[in-house]
Amino acid sequence: MKRTRALLSGIARNRWFRRFVFAICIALVFRFGFVSYLEQTEVGIARNLVTGEMWIYEAGLRFVPPWVGVSHIDTRPVRVVVSTTAHTYSAKLVQFEPKAWRVFVDREGWRLYWLDNRFSFNWGFKEECRGMVNILRGYAYSTQKYSFIKVLEEYQE
């Protein structure tokens, strides 16, 4: 035990180790504070938190100031399901329409949509809807039609 403590305290006192830890911390702050990376299948809705101005980002690597938030939205088709234990089945294949992002933000407001329903305790179903999938499911089964969501296919049994 004493040997382990001595070894760990020796590592912590090592100048190279402290510099390494400091460099890792700076790199993480830079990555999460100033860099936004969007995949080819994503679109980003950016919002300047100071002025309130909003715009859309296409795929790629972007350097953004820390007061600009970018919410990533996957544009690939997603299967949304109404979970039930009955012998009926209802599912839809839906897709977010990036051209109508302004209508979506006017309806939902801007936030990090990934966090929606992230910390809930609704276990029990195989289909768990979290984040943007949960939002898409709500609009897919709405009685109104919205321009920011495209229903590609509907399954009913």
What is the pLDDT confidence band of residue 97, given thresholds at 50, 70 and 90? very high
When the pLDDT of each residue in the chain is averaged and rounded to a whole number, the result is 79
pLDDT tens digits for range 16-55: 777 888 888 887 777 777 777 888 888 888 888 899 899 9
Split into its structural domains, the chain has a count of 2
| Among candidate residues 16, 42, 74, the one where a domain is terminated | 74
Span 5-20, pLDDT tens digits: 555 555 556 777 778 8
- Domain-ending residue, one of 47, 74, 101: 74
* Same domain (yes/no): 38, 12: yes
| pLDDT at 136 (0 to 100) | 86
Over 70: is that where the pLDDT of 122 sits?
Answer: no
Last residue of a domain, one of 42, 74, 106: 74
Determine the longest span between alpha carbons in the chain, in angstroms.
69
Structural domain that includes position 153? 77-157
DSSP string covering 78-147: EEEE---SSS--EEEEEEE-GGGHHHHHHHH-SS-GGGTT-S----S-S----THHHHHHHHHTSSS--T
